[in-house]
Amino acid sequence: MAGPPSDVPVWPDAAGPQAVDVVSGMLLIAAAGLAVGGSFENLDKATDIGQVGGTAQQTILTSPWYYRTSGTFPGAPHVDLGQFFGVALAVGGLLAVLIGVLMLMGRGGRRVSIRSLGIVAAALLFGAVLATEMSVLNDLQWDGIPPVGVHRTSLGPGFWLLLAAGVATAAAGSLLVFARRESRAVRVEPPTPPYGFALPGREPVGEPPRPVD
Q: Does residue 21 lie in a domain region?
A: yes
Domains contained in the chain, number: 1
Report the CATH number that the domain containing residue 168 is assigned in CATH.
1.20.140.150
| Whole-prediction pTM | 0.70
pLDDT at 186 over 60: no
Q: Does residue 197 lie in a domain region?
A: no
Q: Does residue 81 lie in a domain region?
A: yes
Burial annotation 47-77 (CB, 10 A radius, 16+ → b, else e): ebeeeeeeebbbebbbbbbeeebebeeeeee
Find the domain containing 65 and state its range.
17-178
> pLDDT tens digits, residue range 102-121?
888 877 655 568 888 999 99
Q: Are 101 and 29 in contact (CB under 8 A)?
A: yes
Q: Does residue 198 lie in a domain region?
A: no
Lowest-pLDDT range, 94-103, 160-169, 173-182?
A: 173-182
Q: Does residue 147 lie in a domain region?
A: yes
Average pLDDT (117-129) is: 94
More confidently predicted of 57 and 33:
33
* Mean residue pLDDT across the chain: 78
